[in-house]
Amino acid sequence: MAVEATPGPARATTVLGIDPGLTRCGLGVVCGPDRRPRVVAATCVRTEPDQPLEQRLLVVQDAIEAVIAEHRPDAVAVERVLFSANVRSAMATGQAAGVALVAAARAGLAVTPYSPNEVKQTVAGTGAADKAAVGRLVAAQLGLDEVPRPADVADALAVALTHLARSRLAARVVGTASASVLADAHRAADVAARGGWEAVLGDRLPPSSARRTPTRSARPSPKGR
Binding-site residues for Mg(2+) sit at 19, 79, 152
Distance (Å, whole) CA 205 – CA 84? 36
Residues 33/71, Cβ–Cβ less than 8 Å: no
Is 70 part of the annotated catalytic residue set? no
Helix (H), strand (E) counts: the chain: 8, 5
Alpha helices in the chain (DSSP H): 53-71, 87-106, 116-124, 131-141, 151-173, 178-192, 196-204, 208-212
Distance (Å, whole) CA 197 – CA 190? 8
Q: Which is the catalytic residue, given 34, 62, 65, 79?
A: 79
Q: Which is the catalytic residue, given 34, 118, 152, 155?
A: 152
Q: Which is the catalytic residue, given 19, 34, 118, 155?
A: 19
Is 79 part of the annotated catalytic residue set? yes
Is 19 part of the annotated catalytic residue set? yes
Q: Which residues does the annotation mark as catalytic?
A: 19, 79, 152
